[in-house]
């Protein structure tokens, strides 16, 4: 009996001699042109893009320098740059400079062989007479807000005013910079500036700055302890009220002459009688003997008469 030809034979060990051993996806990834290994990317620190000068808003022809901050392997200083998600193959250095143009507007990101991809930094190149500049649009609580009213070609600007949500916040004759040392949620809003260039008044476009509200929740353990203590206090309060009601009922039922005692045959205590030796001037003796009583209402000589004149005091 032979083996049917329709059944495949098991592969011999030599048939897989040239195949690589099975590995998880993270181990299969390799480094390509200095980029981070995809399998390890989540464990690598992020690179950071910085601007010099630090402003996110610039005029055409302004000088801009982009720098990528992140670790490199020894002997490998190459950096990958991205503009709006597209790699810039001509830029492999940790930093590079250019004169801004409208084509340079957009998001910039970078990466080294020892970092993961950075968060985007948005550069806005705008043509106008005035430009409100800031180094960041999202400001943590307690961090400073720095603003600059920048004029076209750095022309002389004076009578400068800064606004938040249309309300004036600060004025200077020549100082074009304004800062808030410690930001909080009330400082979120749309900022713009205005000033004179020559004899003409100009106003910048608004820039939205956000200061997030910090929410610090209590740890779960502390929350559970507080809830437990509150429950104990509530139970103790209810128990105290019940005990007080029971005590009052017991106290009132123990008094002589109460309805409960009368049901058991007890009577109310009698008023004491007035017998021989009573004080004849006592009102109760006079009532007992049936003699009339005369009362007189006298004003005490030492008591001052009540002043009925209206008071001079008024609520201011």
Contact 111, 36 (CB under 8 A): yes
In the block, tokens 């003796």 appear at 285
pLDDT of residue 75: 80
Averaged pLDDT, 276-304: 46
Q: Which residue has the higher pLDDT, 295 or 122?
A: 122
User: Is 63 a residue whose pLDDT tops 80?
Assistant: yes
Provide the token pair at 16: 């897989």
User: Is 83 a residue whose pLDDT tops 80?
Assistant: yes
pLDDT digits (tens, 9 = 90+) for 87-115: 999 999 999 999 999 999 999 999 998 99
pLDDT of residue 248: 64
The whole-chain average pLDDT of the chain stands at 73
Q: Which residue has the higher pLDDT, 93 or 276?
A: 93
Tell me the whole-structure pTM to 2 decimals.
0.56
- Residue 74 — pLDDT band, cuts 50, 70, 90? confident
Provide the token pair at 145: 């807000």
User: Is 251 a residue whose pLDDT tops 70?
Assistant: no
Q: Please calculate the CA angle 8-12-13 and round it to the nearest 5 degrees.
A: 150
pLDDT of residue 237: 65
**Residue 9: which residues within 8 A CB-CB, separation 6 or more?**
3
- Nearest CA-CA partner of 110 in 130, 72, 74, 83: 83
User: Is 12 a residue whose pLDDT tops 50?
Assistant: no
- Residue 124 — pLDDT band, cuts 50, 70, 90? very high
pLDDT digits (tens, 9 = 90+) for 160-215: 999 999 999 999 999 999 999 999 999 999 999 999 999 999 999 999 999 998 75
Contact 83, 107 (CB under 8 A): yes
Kindly calculate the radius of gyration of the chain based on its CA atoms and give it in whole angstroms: 46
Provide the token pair at 288: 């007992």
Domains (range + CATH), the chain: 38-125 (2.60.40.10), 130-209 (2.60.40.10)
**Residue 301: which residues within 8 A CB-CB, separation 6 or more?**
none
């Amino acid at each position: 009996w032979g083996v049917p030809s329709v059944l495949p034979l098991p592969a011999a060990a030599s048939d897989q001699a040239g195949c690589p051993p099975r590995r998880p996806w993270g181990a299969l990834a390799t480094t390509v042109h200095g980029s981070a290994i995809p399998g390890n990317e989540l464990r690598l620190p992020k690179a950071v893009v910085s601007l010099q000068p630090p402003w996110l808003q610039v005029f055409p022809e302004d000088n801009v320098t982009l720098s990528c901050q992140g670790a490199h392997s020894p002997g490998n200083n190459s950096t990958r740059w991205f503009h709006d998600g597209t790699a810039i193959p001509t830029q492999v250095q940790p930093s590079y400079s250019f004169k801004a143009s409208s084509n340079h507007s957009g998001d910039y990101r970078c990466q080294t062989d020892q970092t993961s991809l950075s968060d985007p930094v948005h550069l806005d190149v705008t043509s106008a007479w005035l430009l409100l500049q800031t180094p960041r649009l999202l400001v943590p609580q307690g961090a400073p807000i720095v603003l600059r009213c920048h004029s076209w070609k750095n022309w002389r600007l004076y009578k400068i005013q800064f606004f938040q949500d249309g309300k004036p916040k600060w004025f200077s004759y020549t100082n074009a910079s304004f800062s808030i040392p410690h930001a909080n949620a009330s400082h979120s809003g749309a900022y713009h500036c205005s000033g004179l260039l020559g004899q003409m008044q100009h106003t910048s476009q608004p820039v939205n700055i956000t200061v997030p509200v910090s929410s610090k929740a209590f740890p779960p353990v502390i929350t559970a302890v507080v809830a437990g203590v509150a429950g104990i206090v509530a139970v103790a309060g209810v128990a105290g009220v019940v005990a007080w009601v029971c005590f009052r009922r017991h106290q009132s039922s123990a008094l002589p002459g109460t309805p409960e005692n009368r049901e058991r045959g007890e009577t109310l205590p009698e008023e004491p009688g007035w017998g021989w030796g009573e004080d004849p001037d006592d009102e109760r003796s006079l009532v007992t003997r049936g003699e009339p009583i005369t009362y007189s209402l006298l004003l005490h000589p030492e008591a001052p008469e009540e002043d009925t004149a209206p008071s001079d005091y008024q609520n201011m």
